[in-house]
Structure 1
Amino acid sequence: MAPEEAAQVVSGKSNMSKRYTAEFKRDAIALVRSSPHRNVTEIAREPGVSPEGLRGWVKQAKTDRGEGPTGALTSDEREELRRVRRELAEVKKANEI
């Protein structure tokens, strides 16, 4: 899948900011893991993503597998935290009324 097919512009961010599908990210991470002799910058060129973004995906994938630094949040924990913060904001707003 081409990056332009997998990406869409995220509103509220610069025009250069893209959001990639979970499948696209998994494929890019698998490419990094299967190429230990190559650096991330070199690998990032193939799918057309930024090296910094790819490094972040790889780091988060390690955390999700339980291999991340102590205290790092998994993707599921990050999503739950976002959800709880949204709910808290809604409750605070409702209490103000």
Structure 2
Amino acid sequence: MARKNYPDEFKRDAVALYRDTEGATITVIAAELGVSEATLSAWCKAAGVPIRHRKPGSAHVTAPGVQTPEQELARLRAQVKDLQAEKTKLATERDILRSAAKYFAGETNW
């Protein structure tokens, strides 16, 4: 398989996306960007970004009908945190796509 060379800006943006997206794994981010897990992991290590490991059982949520007010508040806070992380991730992805579009638009010679 041919070795791909990625622009430094793409690498920095990919590492920033991983760093700023809470709860996402290397596997998920790499798949979204179309790079291998090993490649993204190497970029993160080179940038000094620690690799997160998913904790089992962290996604347990009880049914809404049997929640105490404290449980509901905790669930809603977690949901807000997840939505804010998703918003950050989408903004970063949008910026990466804009940069890629500019890069590839400048590469065409027709």
TM tier, smaller: 0.3 to 0.5
More strand by share: 1
Of structures 1 and 2, the one with the larger relative CO (CA 8 A, separation 6+) is 2
Normalised by the size of structure 2, how large is the TM-score? 0.42
More helix by share: 2
Normalised by the size of structure 1, how large is the TM-score? 0.48
